[in-house]
Structure 1
Amino acid sequence: MSDSLLVVAIDFGTAFSGYCFCVKSCMDNIRSVFWGMEQGHRSPKTPTCILFNEEKHFMKFGYDAVQTYNRMTSEEAKRFCFFENFKMELYNKTINKNIMICAKNGEPFPALKVFTESLRYLKDHALDTIRDSTDGREFIASDVTWVLTVPAIWDSAAKQFMRLAATEAGLVEEMGSENLVLALEPEAASVWCKQLPSTGFVQEGEDQEKLEQSPGTQYIVVDCGGGTVDITVHEVLEGGSLKELQKASGGGWGGSSVDKEFRSFLRDIFHPDVWDRYEKEHPGELQKMMYNFSFQKCVGKEEDIYISCHYNLSKLAQDKQDISCFFKKIDGASWSDGSIKITYNKLKTLFKSSVNHIVKAIKPILSTPEISIDYILLVGGYASSRLLRDEIRKQFSSRCRVLCPYDSQLAIAKGAILFGNDPKIIASRVSALTYGIVIGWPFDPSVHDPRKQRVNKAGDYVYCDDLFEKLVEKGQSVGCQQVAEYFYSPIDQDQNAMCFRFFSTEKLNAMYVDEPGLEEIGSFTVPMPNVRLGRNRRVRLDIKFGLTEIQATATDLTSNETQAIRIDFLTI
């Protein structure tokens, strides 16, 4: 671990982002900030929204970006690049460092720049806050261990993309810096909840309860974010560390999916011709409406909600017919003196698809014979919605306790602080996929496909090409400090480098890397400059699969030179 003075954890969310910080020597005093006071808010996180000007230079982030964009005329908004929910662009997609994403005005924009400038803003904001909190003492980025949270269900390329963006944003100087730690969001939340007292959880008609820390206690962490819902299963071990019992699961069922249902409902109300024109011509106003809904959907009472209908939507609707006529055949909504009234029962239906997916994902975990769940922990910003919490309790409270921390929005960032200070608190993880590399092996006609037979340049070695050597199996429990050791020899006598190509698959076993279902995910090359011993040379590969990122070192045993290898997942 680095000798930095501070730990800063950035919870970079789909809908909202924030950070916590503390001095390393005082880990029981984790500090956070409030956002949006200038705009009349006082929230622990700020919208993950960013605005670039006409020259594509950074302008604003968070509440400032939202307010500036919302104040623009429709013509102005078309000239500026505004982004929201862009973190979802890294989920379940093929990613490279040059990937482009679209702004609200439809203009393509480098995703790396959007993420980099967002993280740069949060880094600078954090350093300014720390300076103001320490009587003006100046700190620079290298004084900090930065912990950046990522969804557990992200693939290796998405994680590397975030590390690249953080490096370009100046959090660290080098990609491999130990001052940048990636923390899996539900794991961070788990670490935080594990040490909370009973007063740290929302009490909704239940006896006060805290999460048991005794060895053998098992619980599900459901991280309900704006974009994704991440689910992990942990068991408390002797000494208080955590063991992952199943590979992380989840999907794109977060709070923004409820927003999409609401948007679709508005389109039904006003008819596609009016609504589609409004979306295109008045994006700032629409963003205001959606922002209003995103807060009201987390109502704590069973009551109807009212969404202001802005001027341009009213005008476009009135040009067609009296606005109240749009609501005549609509169930669950009505016109109410300049506002759209949504009944509580209708609001519940907007949550239905998202909640059903979450329930469906939890059920098989509870039904796994070798697992005995004591608790379900609901964390993340979306968990602040009582509608979500009530449904999860209704479905599962007869089988286990359902807990939600009071500061569900900050549970991830606070837990990430603890994790960043001591990553060994997660003792083991379960491999989400089967990983392996492509190798050549002496050809055996009784085993190998004759089409894979190859001969090296000197003609003294006949081998089978494209063989898949499994390094770790899907579902295998891997200790976070466990090192797997492998040895490889060159194919050609004058070979001065060895290329390792990594593959992943859902399968438990595979013979060849070109079989259906195998995907090349990354590679690295090890120099072998001393060719004096010909093929009688070896490279030792040491890999850790139990960390949040796969780590490897390679040693050319001829020269005995060891180098840390960072597998490149962004070039495929």
Structure 2
Amino acid sequence: MTEKVLAVIAIDLGTSFSGYGFQTRVDFKNNPNRICVPNWYYGDTNLAMGKTTTSILFRPDEAFHSFGYEAERKFADLFTEHANPDSQSGDDKRNENDDPTQWYFFKHFKMQLYDDKCISNRMRIADYFGKKLRAVKVFSAAIQFMKDKAMKEFKIALGDEVEESDFKWVVTVPAIWGDKAKQFMRTAAEVAGIPHSQLVLAIEPEAAAFFCKEYITSLDVVSDRRGGEAATSNKDEKQMRKDSCSHATLELKPFDEGCSFLVVDCGGGTVDITTFCIENGAMKELQQASGGDVGGEIVTQRFLDIWNNILGEEKMTELQSKYPTEFLDFHNSFQALKQSLNHTQRRELIISLPFCILENIHGTSFSVESGRIEIERGKARISISVISELFEDPINKIVQNVERQLNDIRAEKVTDILMVGGFSNCTQLCNKISDVFEKYRVIRPLECDLSVLKGAVMLGFKPDSIRERISRFSYGISSSQPFDKEKHTGEECMKHRVTFNCQERIEDLFAVFVKTGEAVVPGLTSITKECRMLASTGLDEIDVYISNRTTPPMFIYSFLGDCKKLGIVKIYSNDRNKRDRYYDVTMSFGYTELRVSVKDKTTNQQVHAVLDMLGQ
């Protein structure tokens, strides 16, 4: 299919920032480094960025209005217009003179998919004021906005004859997301109008690693020289760079054959940590991904908590509800400052305070646990010790996760740590990683915040570049076997012993397809298990279960709670005659998404089957 598409378009919907990028097939062949990532402009300024904020606004009737910076500007205007109705234009008076609290404004909504337990097609998520919309509506509207904007650009450049079928679409997902969240993103993309056959999901750290492996030539490589970006693992050269005042970049070749490296993808919401090696020119995952919800937004939230402590929780909640746009600006101001903040070259951080905080604050000097805050002429002067403390907990958790990954014997040949994602722009984080893991070369691409997006475009053209992955879970289905008194002993087995048609059987067995930590290869790791359905009319359901244990429990109903239902394989057979049916259920692993197929053993025919993890 890749040979037929005009271009690949990738959409990276992040917790804090989102964007899209594309590359034509001609450029992929002749100029692979040429990947277009359109600029987004913050407010009315000329500040161009490769991504926009992950904010989305819906009208009171739940119709989509805007996304990104535009959504935040409109949200702010709604409050201004509501407070000053005479300032509205005639059309606005007729159409949009609404209470702004009746609009739906969402920010950082991607984190709603972090916990698999709540994900379903009926899932609803709360907006800024606590009102709820269906999650699939919010996510699909965000993806459709990106999709339509990309299509518009192509039609301007190439003419109206461009069709949506000319494109392959890639949507990124975190490595630590479960199968439910991945299926949810696919569903949202398809609701947004992307055809099933033209859509692939890309795992974010894989995309970033592929970007660096294939085409990157210019890198920041962090040394222990505070505030500097240097490139070496040699201690003498490190000291030389430390003594130098200039910033340095290093021209590097793509990763060599046999090289092993750790990818630390630090985003706004989550951190994904994955280990790869290069084998026969392709990437091979060495360990299952780890990480957690320790992204850069934690730092921002802890910054807001300072003012929560100064003003009091009740007053802070009241102000955020009454003046949301002032807090949005405050949030975005700190977001920009924290990325460029150099903790060793500054003694304090100065930030303008929202007027609603200034008029409710009593005093000009405050002591907090790790330093002082002075209020002067509408600005807060915050000692760098206070700011550094905000970063301490999330950075330490990231370091602990990296340490666990590197201590695994499968990571013994790792030589490089690759820092990608927007939070990797944080100097304090990169310096800490460099200090703790001194024997490794810590690399940060100059476009670390765009590495995932650009890599996703590349993977759209070369989807088979990930040769092997590691299963994050043990997968299985509920099955039964004839009772074997030698094999099925113990009290637990007796609980699942049944008699049917004069035959004793053991029910509810966990029939394992693959186990946690097992290597799985796309196109090769396909496991088949038999499943019987008695008195079936051809419309059957088979439950699929997962366990995070390397040795999964014997039964699906484990008293330890280490086995949970993932979804249902729904079977739709054309033959509706009532009879006992024996199915071969095949699961294919190693792809970014779990694949399932079913064959009726009696007719030896494939039957239509769908793995539903969202309760459709």
State the TM-score, normalized to the length of structure 1: 0.92
Partner residue, 1:103 = 127
Question: Is 1:122 paired with 2:146?
Answer: yes
CA contact (8 A) 1:530 1:558 kept: no
Provide the C-alpha distance between the structure 2 equivalents of 1:411 and 1:157, rounded to a whole number of angstroms.
Answer: 25
Partner residue, 1:447 = 487
2:41 to 36, 60, 63: 36
CA contact (8 A) 1:375 1:402 kept: yes
Provide the C-alpha distance between the structure 1 equivalents of 2:328 and 2:577, rounded to a whole number of angstroms.
Answer: 67
Structure 2 CA distance for partners of 1:258 and 1:138, relative to 1, 3 Å:
farther
Secondary structure at the aligned position of 1:18 is classed as strand
5 Å matches for 1:73-84? 73=79, 76-84=99-107
Query: Greater CA deviation, 24-33 or 112-121?
Result: 24-33
Question: Is 1:131 paired with 2:175?
Answer: no
Question: Is 1:509 paired with 2:514?
Answer: no
Partner residue, 2:57 = 51
Question: Is 1:415 paired with 2:455?
Answer: yes
Question: Is 1:549 paired with 2:555?
Answer: no
Deviations 1:307-329 (A, max 9, x none): 21122222222xxx3x4155699
Provide the C-alpha distance between the structure 1 equivalents of 2:325 and 2:341, rounded to a whole number of angstroms.
Answer: 28
Secondary structure at the aligned position of 1:555 is classed as strand
Structure 2 CA distance for partners of 1:492 and 1:311, relative to 1, 3 Å:
closer
1:309 to 345, 348, 353: 353
Structure 2 CA distance for partners of 1:504 and 1:432, relative to 1, 3 Å:
same
Provide the C-alpha distance between the structure 1 equivalents of 2:573 and 2:11, rounded to a whole number of angstroms.
Answer: 40
Question: Is 1:274 paired with 2:315?
Answer: yes
Question: Is 1:324 paired with 2:364?
Answer: yes
Deviation at 1:200, TM superposition (A): 3.8
Provide the C-alpha distance between the structure 2 equivalents of 1:378 and 1:103, rounded to a whole number of angstroms.
Answer: 32
Structure 2 CA distance for partners of 1:566 and 1:213, relative to 1, 3 Å:
farther
1:523 to 568, 579, 589: 568
Partner residue, 2:27 = 26
Paired AA for residue 355 in structure 2: Y
Deviation at 1:280, TM superposition (A): 2.4
Partner residue, 2:287 = 246
Deviations 1:240-259 (A, max 9, x none): 10111110000001010111
Partner residue, 1:11 = 12
Secondary structure at the aligned position of 2:402 is classed as helix
Structure 2 CA distance for partners of 1:314 and 1:533, relative to 1, 3 Å:
closer
Query: Greater CA deviation, 523-532 or 123-132?
Result: 523-532
Provide the C-alpha distance between the structure 2 equivalents of 1:473 and 1:211, rounded to a whole number of angstroms.
Answer: 36
Deviation at 1:388, TM superposition (A): 1.6
Partner residue, 1:226 = 268
Partner residue, 1:499 = 541
Deviation at 1:116, TM superposition (A): 1.1
1:185 to 192, 197, 204: 204
Structure 2 CA distance for partners of 1:298 and 1:533, relative to 1, 3 Å:
closer
Gaps of at least 5 residues in structure 2 are 83-98, 223-228, 233-249
Question: Is 1:333 paired with 2:373?
Answer: yes
Structure 2 CA distance for partners of 1:326 and 1:213, relative to 1, 3 Å:
closer
CA contact (8 A) 1:490 1:498 kept: no
Deviation at 1:188, TM superposition (A): 0.3
Paired AA for residue 297 in structure 2: S
Q: How many residues align?
A: 558
Question: Is 1:380 paired with 2:446?
Answer: no
Deviation at 1:102, TM superposition (A): 0.9
Paired AA for residue 457 in structure 2: I
Report percent identity of matched pairs: 30
Paired AA for residue 309 in structure 2: D
Query: Greater CA deviation, 479-488 or 525-534?
Result: 525-534
Structure 2 CA distance for partners of 1:110 and 1:531, relative to 1, 3 Å:
closer
Query: Greater CA deviation, 404-413 or 552-561?
Result: 552-561
Structure 2 CA distance for partners of 1:564 and 1:412, relative to 1, 3 Å:
farther
Paired AA for residue 561 in structure 1: Q
Question: Is 1:63 paired with 2:69?
Answer: yes
CA contact (8 A) 2:8 2:170 kept: yes
Secondary structure at the aligned position of 1:171 is classed as coil
Deviations 1:380-437 (A, max 9, x none): 11111222212211221x2110001111111101101111212110001101111111
Secondary structure at the aligned position of 1:25 is classed as helix
CA contact (8 A) 2:15 2:267 kept: yes
Structure 2 CA distance for partners of 1:474 and 1:375, relative to 1, 3 Å:
same
Paired AA for residue 178 in structure 2: D
Deviation at 1:79, TM superposition (A): 2.4
Query: Greater CA deviation, 435-444 or 11-20?
Result: 435-444
Provide the C-alpha distance between the structure 2 equivalents of 1:329 and 1:543, rounded to a whole number of angstroms.
Answer: 54
CA contact (8 A) 2:21 2:453 kept: yes
Deviation at 1:548, TM superposition (A): 0.8
RMSD: 2.3
Provide the C-alpha distance between the structure 2 equivalents of 1:214 and 1:328, rounded to a whole number of angstroms.
Answer: 49
Paired AA for residue 456 in structure 2: A
Partner residue, 2:299 = 258
CA contact (8 A) 1:17 1:46 kept: yes
Provide the C-alpha distance between the structure 1 equivalents of 2:56 and 2:304, rounded to a whole number of angstroms.
Answer: 21
Paired AA for residue 548 in structure 2: E
Structure 2 CA distance for partners of 1:494 and 1:128, relative to 1, 3 Å:
closer
CA contact (8 A) 2:531 2:585 kept: no
Structure 2 CA distance for partners of 1:453 and 1:110, relative to 1, 3 Å:
same
2:231 to 196, 206, 210: 206
Question: Is 1:354 paired with 2:394?
Answer: yes
Query: Greater CA deviation, 525-534 or 160-169?
Result: 525-534
Structure 2 CA distance for partners of 1:533 and 1:286, relative to 1, 3 Å:
closer
Provide the C-alpha distance between the structure 2 equivalents of 1:530 and 1:119, rounded to a whole number of angstroms.
Answer: 39
